Amino acid sequence: MGKYKKYFAGFVGLTILSQVMIVNSNAASSSKAYCPGSMMMPMGDMGKHPHALGNGTVPEYAGYKLNLLSSNLKPGKSNILKYNITDSKNKIVTKYLLDMGKIAHTIIFSSDYKTYIHKHAVIDKTGVFTLSVDFPKAGTYHMDVDFSVPMAVDKNTNGAQFVLGKDLIVGGKSAFSNTTKPACVFNSNGYKISLSRTTLPLTHDTLMVSVSKNGQPVLFGKYLGTLAHMVVIRNSDRSYAHFHPMNPDGSMPPMWSDVVDVSKGNTDSYTDANPSSKDIIPFNPKEVNPALGMLHFMTEPPGAGRYTAYLQFIDGNKLQTLTFTLDAK
């Protein structure tokens, strides 16, 4: 820990400054609840400011359709899950725009929100995705496929992001339920999560997630080019949104990169079959402006309601997944 001493010293200073800013913020605006269990987050109108086209509640949107090619899924076994995506002409999509270096993000969660899986499926030349999934118990699961395709949306973008979803019945149905209540502090997977409004001097409310272990702030590495990934699922209807925090300098991590035509092959480097050396990057002790246990998200979920949040980040050289609950109003 000695070589990281200067970072912790800096963290103490940042913490003191943060507390001063929090006190001043509360004094200036006592009508806003500090605890994000009831905080006012900027809510996006899905028709005007969508996180993506489609919110994961339906398998078809704007001509794109998620087609599940697997059946007879069983609990407790390595299930081979296959799917493809077709366009408005019922043609299988084979050209994708890389999103965080991956062709598609496959998210699977259980009806009680206790199981969470984030994978990047193998895709063949015909456009069929394949991944192996272990379901810990029988019941209803939901799959969201988060992908981007190249297109001229407007003069500022070169692609469009879609989220399509389907229920997966694994040995029998079960109802969706989550009994966890919103709070300011959660303990998950050995970590402490503290939620608050951001302490950054921004003009809008932003969710700050502080993460520590054994009393020390996490020194975040990078996963798929960003400090963390936060997926939130609205409990009432399974609406989906996927966020990335701001970089320590206030910029946002890049999302889209190259166009990949899978019909030409050589796609393993964009899947979990042959992960890139850049997928997981441990904390760099020489980082000039490190994120010392603090993640600032400009959250824009698809509407008011109670959400289950899944936070993934790199601690050391391992990917960690934490869970908590919050309300958006």
Q: Where are the domains of the chain?
A: 2-45+178-328, 60-170
Point out the least confidently predicted range of 24-38, 114-128, 219-233: 24-38
Q: Give, in order, the Cα–Cα distances in Å from 115 to each of 57, 178, 185, 321.
A: 18, 12, 21, 10
What is the structure's pLDDT at 200?
A: 55
Please tell us whether the domain made up of 2-45+178-328 is placed in CATH 3.30.470.
no
Q: What is the CATH number of domain 60-170?
A: 2.60.40.10
Distance CA 324, CA 181 (A): 9
Point out the least confidently predicted range of 15-24, 183-192, 194-203, 269-278: 15-24
What is the structure's pLDDT at 321?
A: 97
Point out the least confidently predicted range of 21-25, 61-65, 78-82, 231-235: 21-25
Q: What is the pTM of this model?
A: 0.83
Task: Please name the residue that has the structure tokens 């609950």.
Answer: 325
pLDDT at 84 over 50: yes
The DSSP bridge partners found for residue 213 are 216
pLDDT band at residue 73 under the 50/70/90 scheme: very high
Task: Please name the residue that has the structure tokens 């760099």.
Answer: 284
What's the token pair of residue 117? Answer: 């899986």
What is the structure's pLDDT at 277?
A: 86
Task: Please name the residue that has the structure tokens 């965080």.
Answer: 100
The arithmetic mean of pLDDT across residues 245-274, rounded, is: 88
pLDDT at 30 over 80: no
Q: How many CB atoms lie within 10 A of CB 99?
A: 21
Between 160 and 153, the more confident residue is 160
Range picked from 76-80, 163-167, 266-270 for highest mean pLDDT:
163-167
Distance CA 39, CA 122 (A): 40
Counting other chains too, the contacts that 21-24 makes at CB distance below 8 Å and 24 or more residues apart are 21/199, 22/196, 22/197, 22/199
What amino acid is encoded at 82 in this protein?
A: K
Domains 2-45+178-328 and 60-170 agree in fold: yes
pLDDT at 307 over 70: yes
The DSSP bridge partners found for residue 326 are 307
Point out the least confidently predicted range of 83-97, 169-183, 219-233: 169-183
SS3 category, 123: strand
Q: Give, in order, the Cα–Cα distances in Å from 272 to each of 60, 122, 132, 162.
A: 25, 7, 11, 20
